[in-house]
Structure 1
Amino acid sequence: MHINTHTYYSLRYGTLSPEELAQQAASKGVRVMVLTDINNSSGLFDFIKACRDQGITALAGIEFRQDHRLLYIGIARNNHGYMELNHFLSKHNLSCTKLPRKAPAFNHAYIIYPFGNIQPKELTENELVGIQPLQLRKLISSSFRYQQHKLVVWQPATFANETGFNLHRHLRAIDKNILLSQLTTEDTANSTDTLVSPEKIKQNYAQFPEIIKNTEELLKQCSFNFDFTAIRNKKTFTGSIYDDKKLLEKLTLDGMIYRYGKNNPLAKERVQKELHIINSLGFAAYFLITWDIIRYSMSRSFYHVGRGSGANSVVAYCLKITDVDPIKLNLYFERFLNPKRSTPPDFDIDYSWKEREEVLDYIFKRYGTQHTALLGAMSTFKGKSIIRELGKVYGLPKEEIDQMIDYPESSQDDQLKQKIHNIGGLMTDFPNLRTIHAGGILISEKPITCYTALDLPPKGFPTTQWDMYVAEDIGFEKLDILSQRGIGHIKDCTRIVLQNKGIDIDIHQVEKFMEDKQVQKQLQDAETNGCFYIESPAMRGLLKKLKCSNYLTLVAASSIIRPGVARSGMMREYIQRFNNPHNIPYLHPVMKEQLEETYGVMVYQEDVLKVCHHFAGLDLADADVLRRAMSGKYRSKKEFQRIVDKFFSNCKQKGYPDKITHEVWRQIESFAGYSFSKAHSASYAVESFQSLYLKAHYPLEFMVAVINNFGGFYHTWVYVNEARRQGACIHQPCVNNSFYTTSITQKDIYIGFIHIQNLESKFAKRIETERQQSGDYKTLDDFMKRTGAGRENMVILIRTGALRFTNKGKSELLWEMHLLLSPQKKNHLHQRLFELPRKNYTLPQLARSKVEDAYDEIELIGFPITLSYFDLLETNFRGGLKATELIKHTGKRVRMIGQLVCIKYVRTVRQQMMHFATFIDMDGNFYDTTHFPSSLQAYPFKGYGMYLILGRITEEFGFASIEVEKMAKMPIIPDPRGR
């Protein structure tokens, strides 16, 4: 008779997982129970599964609260009632309006009001009042004394015992952001809000049998039926399954001719096989919906990259969902979709960060807001955040909280701090906030509110209250509509090339790019600064070590750079075997048979499946569950452990030595969680080649595109340096030449106004708009009148050199600007009918140096343009060698001067800190350094700037770096103005 139970999805209130709630209920003999989490339906489907495991009838409901105050409890009479409750909550969430004090009329749901909040005459037929055992004594003097047919048993359940109540109190204090001692009884549940056996409930209400009867009748009239095996996505694209099948076939065959020509028997065979599986499993609409999204985005000239396991599909390739050729790469479709796969697949589609919102807007408008939603996610309490929250609850100062986090062992003798650690252990992994999945979107056959209430996060699109795991459990296959700046680089570059050189590039001619000799050389030389996914120091080093010049090697490199391969030690092993492919020591003949392409090293997710299937004898379904579990995409710990046990027992039966079995498992375990599918790596490699082609042939336009997208591994100044290295003439911002973003004409690159710190964006855009409408600015006075510039913006522009067209010095311009903006001469943003002549003032010549200009640029733009940091060095020494000469002097000690680009922080096996760093020399070329703990402790980094480095040149497979012995930060010429 529990009509009001909570799980920990009642955020910062409930203390029980759905599984724990069901187990507790079963132990008490409860046979039917309603889940009513506060203002959400996040946990319902986990709750249903857990109750079925315990033989309990699970019912659906929602507890509605406003500003922490309980208004009423909704209980669904059936699935329609659940939808009504979700729709009601969603309406208020999406419109950002408060819940009403009185519930609306529901056709298929009951409303339970708390005793004391409503009078009998206000109740409708489907509305009742819940009364708790402690409230029964008030019934005699209540207006409900003679209206007991409207009363039901109200025994809320929020925690299991006293420990749970204590945890609940801490959660409430965190939620309200107050000290634990400041909690009032109104802030928390009653200490008696636990699950109670049916016998105990009947005993508590023994004097009021009508209330017990009412409750039993209510529960009998409620049901919630759910089939977890059904597919929830939109079932058809055309309105007919048959028409979907025919349309998908036509589109695919048309695309096959585009991709493979008219006479490719292998492609025809593969297409027919895939179409048969797609149609038999009911996924034709899913493919067509994805195609429709791609069709729309291409009609808008949006670039996209289709990646993930969907790139295993030739059908997807023919539909232009991906640009990866599965036949060329020998990718098997079964990794994406197969008759044994128990979970639905998904497509990952990347768009430019500038265009993703428009694509989402199209999807919502095309398929309707009632049937479309972004996928939610759960942020949980973890590690340091728990200690920080609980420390605040006890009023500890920040310094003590930091001490607890950094040195947890020091807290063991402190009773309060030990208590915090104990409470923190109880709430670890509890849901804390509902957030948004990175890119997931659902398109449902039925209204989304059949399955969930909806939130409205800052993105502005309706979002489910449960996450990808629940979506998968209940039969949704999501689409991942993601954004990345790499696509923005590519699109903007092609636009700039068309404007600057009149060349229209077809960026989808990837096969041509892969065969381009200039592109191949650039890849082999690791000239990849700005190129998607392959520009980091680690990736540049890997490319050189693999002498990478082709697509297949780049595909492998895109995967082995991932943390899993590196952590298992197999990235280094792969490099060694790649460079010495003879006499490779395979762990077992099966490993050679399955992994010969990758020299016996697991590089892709598919390799995990191969090894588990062929080495350990797991079927592909179990192998895929294992792979998914290790990557965090499968939640059943029980099922996972069953497969792990099966892995080891199968290996035992096959007679493998334990040493080999455990080594294979170690590689799987350390690798699988961070690995890419081969198709995913191939998709990344395709985009990398697009970037490489543009950089190889249009390096200046490409770097401008990278700068304007504010994306990449490095800071903006690194890309400006790269443009200069490639032959560009870099100019300071100029009101007559610059635009809001950085621009290029031939080899002249003008830094955009957007890069000037503290310059008002509206004003910056006005400069560009006014110049385009009325021509170049003639004088300082002309500029100020036409733009309505104020004092602060003018000072910034003058100091950055943006008004140098006047041929006046900065000091003179500042004097003139102040005179023009004097209180008697207010500046107005409009044209005057008659212009009065200005008085001319003669000012003395005021000396100014380039060093001062450089410091202005550093302060206002972030890096110098007039001079480089090398020009600002107090010493004339520029290093014993250039970066390009290091490889010729392996083993020698060298002194180098370098500007620090970035640092990678790493801990050794002894948990000591070491660094890998990247510098540029005076020619703008990268070189890399290694700082072992002993050197780092004696000669630590002291922020960004210029460094003198003494070290020995080392080389590994053609990649040179410097093992640092000593290092010192170099002084630069100070600002003459004494700033």
Structure 2
Amino acid sequence: MSFAPFVPLRILSSYSMLEGAIDPKAIAKLAKERGFPAIAICDRNGLYGSYAFASACFEQGVQPIVGTLLGVARPSSEAIDHLALFAQDEAGWQNLCHLVSRAHLERPLELEPHVALDELDGRTEGLIALTGASEGAMTCLFAEGQGSHALSYGERLEALFPGRLYVELSRRGNAVEDAAEAALVDWAYDRDLPLVATNPANFADPHFHKAHDAMLCISHSRKLWEEDRPRSAQESFVKSATMMEEAFDDLPEAVANTLVIAQRCAYAPPERAPILPSLAGDIEGEKAMLESEARRGLAKRLEPYEELTEDERKTYYDRLDYEIGIINRMGFPGYFLIVADFIQWAKDQGIPVGPGRGSGAGSLVAWALTITDLDPIRLGLLFERFLNPERVSMPDFDIDFCETRRGEVIRYVQKKYGHDHVAQIITFGKLKARAVLRDCGRILDLGYNRVDRLCKMVPNHPTDPWSLPRALNGAAEFKREYDNDNDVKQLVDLAMQLEGLPRNSSTHAAGVVIGDRPLAQLVPLYRDPRSDMPVTQFDMKYVEGAGLVKFDFLGLKTLSVLQRAVDLLAKRGIAVDLAGLAWDDPAVFQLLKQGNTVGVFQLESEGMRRTLTAVKPTKFEDIIALVSLYRPGPMDNIPLFGKRKAGEVEIEYPHPKLAGILEETYGIFVYQEQVMQAAQILAGYSLGDADLLRRAMGKKKQSEMDAQRQRFIAGCAEHSQIDAKRANELFDLIDKFAGYGFNKSHAAAYALLAYQTAWLKAHYPEEFYAASMCFDMHQSEKLAVFVDDARRYPGREGGVAVEQPDINRSEADFTVERTDEGYAVRYALAGIRNVGGKAMKALCEEREAHGWFESLDDLFARIPQGCMNSRQLEALIAAGALDRLEPSRGRLAANIDLLLATADAAQRERSSGQEGLFGGDDGPGNTLRLKEADDWSRADKMAKERENFGFYFSSHPVEAYRDIASANGARPYASLMAAGAPMGGRSRAVMAAMVEKVNKGRTRRGADFVRADFSDSSGQFSAACFEEALVANFEKWAEDGTCVLLTVELDSPSPDEPPRVTVRGARPLAAVAGSQRMLLTLEVAHEAAIAELALALQPGPPGYGEVVAKLALPAGEQAMMRLGYDFRLDGALAETLGGIEGIANVALIPKTGPKLFRAA
């Protein structure tokens, strides 16, 4: 094959974010298509894409050239120029990594990445340099007429790159390059330096120019119509060899030298075996140390097992020896020792560490070393699921740490191994469908609301993201907008060209790499402005290829919550050891059976709560199973799981030999480990080979599946005397479950955390709620849920009390305090909006040091400096925090200026050393003369509370109409959102809510409509109303804050988004009679549900409550049945019925339909 006589050297890939627009893999493909023998990647101050680029080039049969466009500060100047540098060999690669790392790490954050020219000294071996076209110092100085400075700079470059400096020429209509070219050529000939022709490229083809222009607008936050914005150069595409030869027909050697550089730079970044520091000197020392530490640790772990027989003890030590043998044979003892070291350090410092995560909990060695806290033999967990001797790959422990103290562990690792030996891992944010629509809509100046509406038409599935082309094919409303609106078409067409490109870099949430040498010797580093820790320029996939091993330091909020609850209990003299809890506590399982699991780790979703009430777990293994089953796919087995557990359906096993492994899950495959054990038991697989079978089934690769099927059939015949027909059936059954079986080790570890959280909620709910709310301090929606859940806590009159904030009783955080009735949660001062956590902490420290604030005078005489401004004081007043000092919130609000002036005067007195007026011996008294003012009305108080809590703390205005609303079938917003709407269909419901805000609009047909904001005690929501007769009413209702009864229609555009709410009718609650005739409709799936339905229905006024049920019959048929007209129907009943297993699509609506609610 003949190659083109030119090599592109100056391509900015998409990793020059929002500047380059060609994916590294696309660069390699382009080179092959255009016949380039080699091609270079030359990103600005980065080597981010070099591994992906080199790998793609090898696949395409093209030679990669790896380089960077390095920022270099010009001596005696503030200018930062750029040099193009390319690696010739390993030394050049290491120097590139060093220089790029230094450019990011050793410069002020406000300046772009760069190195000083002198810092190139000693770091140019193995590097070829190009002078840099329009961004190079030589070109700029010559163009500015500073010839002598240019020649001096050139001498410096020649000295730094002897025999490796090329004078770069570009002919693309750039004024700077054109002005400097003659001088550059003269200088090159005078110094006998080679010329090289380049065409710095940001995109592949000319047609992409407009999209690249838009990309630059996104980068610089400018609009396309602005005249003085940065603009894309039309010539900045990858030109063909023919075009370059024509452009440089007078300097053919400049084109030919691109081939010379390619020959001199035949190098690609190396793939390395894992590199780790050693805690024992060498591999043999590590092996010995691992065995010693593991044996000592196992002996300690088994001390509480007093009734262990010798045979059982031997089982543990045999398993330990087996695992140690595999770990040492695979060369991973050092990895285990490093992980054990930082986990043990964390535990010694009192930092909560999770019991395990992922498959690592299946290792007995990990348990012995205290890496995990689950006995894998007791729980039947498999080591081979974590580390397979048949498949060599690095082990990977994911470690959960307390969210607030995770950083301490990372700092320990930095200190132990050296700050320059430890780094975090980069991640790249992409221009995904909705994001790129928003960016492009912004630069096209289309208006936020318009673009936001369009974005919401694109389905947003985190696990299955939709691209814009897919949305055009699969989202009808989006396609309609595209077809009928030219602005939308222009926006979408532009966005599709940019979709998928990197937009920004960030830091991996957990990944940390540890090296045995300074990391800049192995990989290029980057600086995240939000962190003081270096970050690798390679993402997780490629950093491992470079020889670095990833350790996951994850922050888990639940661990912080558990520790805070334990600390709160300690304050009232109760010591709790969560790790030592028995797993059979009746109170825990009673709480789970009730579905009382809001805030309980892994068990708090509405669907999971319904599942718990249906399945009624009675043992720890049930929790493990439900954590595993409650996912798309396997959740279809939950009803059968529950029936078999309850004895309603006989337990059946696919084969008698599998009873032992499927007994705990009632004959149902739930775990990946069960799939592996089934292959071992039936077909004689080793567990390592069984893991390979599981992986093959997951990948569904036909050739692998065919080979595994034959091996399985032969193994079944040999080991279990199963014929080929039955073996094929068993293989298909196992294959089906392997597709969605869950990792039992992971589920067990998380089930343990769920159990511990549930134990706290069951036994010490006050501490549970206080601790939970501490870590959702600034999420008012979650605080609202916790407060509501606490007040509904079953078995207590009025639930768990949550007391309002109090300037003397509250801390900055949520706390528990003794009351006459027992204990209560005290609301945090810092949980009030707009007060500031630091200010409230300082206020509490003053109170702790000098006693309670006994009066307003005392409070404002002692407020620490900087802790109170008018907004903070207004928030404290509105939240009721000063009620005990002055019960009239209205009066306090009217005197804010006086109170703050008093505080300011007191602070000045203290600063001057004169305590006189405010610090005398007379003690605090009420000397402040507050002007009189009316107290706020109840409605004003509630509105102010809502503004400063983020929800209605004392009560929601709708609560005044609770009975009327319930009698008319109203259901809370949160309940309807949790229940959802049928996919592709619509459902009706009744809601009671307060109208807060209305925006009026006009449809395309010219009809008026409103989009209104509502709230009820469970949350806030918005809904559209297209009933023109109601538009004027809604505007008035919003002004008055009217509580209304709504008939709404729910539809669900996507399974991952809450249903949309459309109002079909509305009427003020004050005008609604409580004797409304109601209709309840529902679907019943089986006989057991009919019995529960009959128990739930109670008689009511004759003719006022009709119930119609759709019953499932054999053979898939259905029948409609009217159960009667005389039932008592309300929202509470609808809630109850919605939680019964086998009852679905419960709808409670006014019998006369929505017309009843259309106010005149």
Answer whether TM exceeds 0.5 for this pair: yes
Distance in 2, Cα, partners of 1:878 & 1:395: 45
The total of aligned residue pairs comes to 925
Aligned to 2:850: 774
CA shift, 1:180, in A, is: 4.9
Return closer, same or farther for 1:748/1:699 CA change in 2, 3 Å cut-off: closer
Deviation at 1:784, TM superposition (A): 0.5
**Structure 1 pair 475/576, CA: closer, same or farther in 2 (3 Å)?**
farther
| Cα pair 2:523 2:537 within 8 Å, conserved | no
Shift of residue 202, structure 1, vs aligned partner: 7.0
Q: 2:621 aligns with which of 530, 552, 555?
A: 552
Aligned to 1:82: 93
* Residue identity opposite 1:114 in structure 2: G
- Say whether residues 1:104 and 2:120 are aligned partners: yes
Q: Which one-letter code corresponds to 1:372 in the other structure?
A: V
Name the SS for the 2:414 alignment partner. Answer: helix
1:442-453 counterparts in 2 under 5 A? Answer: 442-449=513-520, 450-453=522-525
Select between 747-756 and 830-839 the one with higher mean Cα deviation: 830-839
Say if 2:702 is the partner of 1:684: no
Q: How much has 1:85 moved relative to structure 2? A: 2.3
Q: Which has the larger radius of gyration?
A: 2
- Is structure 2 residue 365 aligned with structure 1 residue 315? yes
- Of residues 763, 783, 787 in structure 2, which corresponds to 1:720? 787
CA 824–736 in structure 1, closer or farther in 2 if over 3 Å, else same: closer
In structure 2, the residue corresponding to 1:36 is in which secondary structure? strand
Task: State the partner residue of 1:408.
Answer: 478
Q: Tell me if the contact between 1:559 and 1:603 (Cα under 8 Å) persists in the aligned partners.
A: yes
Q: Where does 1:853-892 land on structure 2 (aligned, <5 Å)?
A: 854-863=942-951, 867-869=954-956, 872-874=959-961
Q: 1:425: Cα distance to partner?
A: 3.9
Q: Is 1:300 aligned to 2:354, yes or no?
A: no
Of 80-89 and 126-135, deviating more is 126-135
1:336 is aligned to 386
Please name the residue that 2:705 is paired with: 647
Structure-2 change in CA distance of 1:258 and 1:113 (3 Å): same
Kept in 1: contact 2:424–2:512 (CA 8 A): yes
User: Map of 1:752-831 to 2, 5 A cutoff?
Assistant: 752-787=828-863, 789-806=868-885, 809-811=888-890, 813=892, 826-828=905-907, 830-831=909-910
* Counterparts of 1:813 and 1:918, CA distance in 2: 33
Q: Which residue of 1 aligns with 2:417?
A: 367
Are the structure 2 counterparts of residues 463 and 13 from structure 1 closer, same or farther at C-alpha, using a change threshold of 3 Å?
A: same
1:297-331 deviations in Å (ceiling 9; x for gaps) = 11221111121121121111122222222212222
Q: By how many angstroms is 1:936 displaced? A: 9.1
| Aligned equivalents of 2:487, 2:731: Cα separation in 1 | 43
1:130 to 152, 168, 175: 168
CA contact (8 A) 2:880 2:889 kept: yes
Determine the C-alpha separation between the residues in 2 that align with 1:821 and 1:556: 58
Structure 2 residue ranges without an equivalent (≥5): 1-6, 74-78, 139-149, 458-476, 714-723, 994-1014, 1019-1047, 1053-1058, 1075-1129, 1152-1160
Which whole-Å CA distance do the structure 1 matches of 2:683 and 2:1049 have between them? 41
Partners of 2:133 and 2:989 lie apart in 1 by 65
Distance 1:168 1:756, change over 3 A: closer
Identity within the alignment, %? 23
Taking the TM superposition and a 5 Å limit, the aligned residue runs for 1:195-594 are 196-197=240-241, 208=251, 211=254, 215-224=258-267, 226-228=269-271, 230-232=273-275, 234-261=276-303, 263=310, 264-305=313-354, 306-398=356-448, 401-402=451-452, 405=455, 406=457, 407-410=477-480, 411-412=482-483, 417-418=488-489, 420-449=491-520, 450-500=522-572, 502-509=573-580, 512-566=581-635, 569-572=636-639, 574-576=641-643, 578-579=645-646, 582=649
Change (3 A) 1:942 1:693: farther
d(CA) in 1 for partners of 2:1066, 2:764? 37
Q: Deviations over 1:717-737 (max 9, x none)?
A: 332344444564433222222
Point out the more displaced range, 438-447 or 575-584.
575-584
Q: 1:91 to 1:830 in 2, by over 3 A?
A: farther
Cα 1:607–1:768 change in 2 (3 A) is same
Question: Could you tell me which amino acid in structure 1 is paired with residue 861 of structure 2?
Answer: K
Alpha-carbon contact 2:981-2:1050 (below 8 Å) kept: no
What secondary structure is seen at the aligned counterpart in 2 of 1:73? strand
Amino acid aligned to 1:903: M
For 2:972 and 2:484, locate their aligned partners in 1 and report how far apart those are by CA, in whole Å.
49
Structure 1 stretch 325-334 or stretch 959-968: which is displaced more?
A: 959-968
Give the TM-score normalised by structure 1: 0.82
Partner secondary structure for residue 782 of structure 1: helix
- CA contact 2:879–2:948 (8 Å) conserved in 1: yes
Q: CA RMSD in A?
A: 4.7
| Deviates further, 801-810 or 762-771 | 801-810
Give the CA deviation at 1:959. 8.8
Q: Is the 8 A contact 2:361 2:374 kept in 1?
A: yes
Query: For the residues of structure 2 that align with 1:817 and 1:201, how far apart are their CA atoms?
Result: 74
**TM-score, length-scaled by structure 2:** 0.70
**Residues of 1 paired with 2:377 and 2:608: CA distance?**
27
The answer on whether the counterparts of 2:222 and 2:229 sit within 8 Å (CA) in structure 1 is: no
Aligned-residue offset at 1:686: 0.9
* Amino acid across the alignment from 2:569: V
CA distance in 2, matches of 1:472, 1:575: 44
Q: Secondary structure at the match of 1:432?
A: strand
Q: What secondary structure, in the 3-state scheme, does the structure 2 residue paired with 1:34 have?
A: strand
Question: What one-letter code is carried by the residue in structure 2 that aligns with 1:409?
Answer: K
Q: C-alpha offsets along residues 762-788 of structure 1, whole Å, 9 cap, x if unaligned?
A: 432232111111112222111101115
Listed one character per residue, the Cα deviations across residues 697-721 of structure 1 (whole Å, up to 9, x for unaligned) are 2221222111212189972133234
1:175 is aligned to: 219
Please, which of 52, 64, 68 is the counterpart of residue 46 of structure 1?
A: 52
Q: Deviations over 1:885-911 (max 9, x none)?
A: xxxxxxxxx957768567237463435
Amino acid at match of 2:1131: I
Q: 195, 203, 217: which is aligned to 1:151?
A: 195
Cα distance in 1 for residues equivalent to 2:504 and 2:657: 46
SS at match of 1:52: helix
- Deviation at residue 687 of structure 1 after TM alignment: 0.7
Give the Cα–Cα distance (whole angstroms) in 2 for the partners of residues 809 and 416 of structure 1. Answer: 55
Q: Is the 8 A contact 1:560 1:603 kept in 2?
A: yes
Question: What is the distance in 1 between the residues matched to 2:1138 and 2:781?
Answer: 24
Give 1:230's aligned amino acid.
A
Structure 1 residues 766 and 600: alpha-carbon distance in aligned structure 2, compared to 1, 3 A threshold = same
Structure 1 residue 583: Cα displacement:
5.5
Q: Which residue of 1 aligns with 2:70?
A: 64
Q: 1:597 & 1:530 partners in 2: Cα distance? A: 27
Shift of 1:43: 1.3
Q: CA 1:27–1:148 in 2, change beyond 3 Å: closer, same or farther?
A: farther
Are residues 223 and 877 of structure 1, via their aligned partners in 2, closer, same or farther at CA, if it must alter by over 3 Å?
same
**Deviations 1:425-461 (CA, angstroms, capped at 9, x unpaired):** 4443322222222211111234332223323241332
Counterpart of 1:49, as a letter, is S
**Matched AA of 2:629:** I
User: Structure 1: 5+ residue runs without aligned partners?
Assistant: 631-639, 881-893, 924-929, 969-979
Asked if structure 2 preserves the Cα contact closer than 8 Å seen for 1:903 and 1:917, the reply is: no
Query: Secondary structure at 2:187's aligned position in 1?
Result: coil
Which residue of the other structure, out of 19, 26, 31, is the alignment partner of 2:25?
A: 19
Q: Is the 8 A contact 1:344 1:472 kept in 2?
A: no
- In 2, Cα distance between equivalents of 1:185 and 1:748: 60
Is the partner of 1:370 in helix, strand or coil?
helix
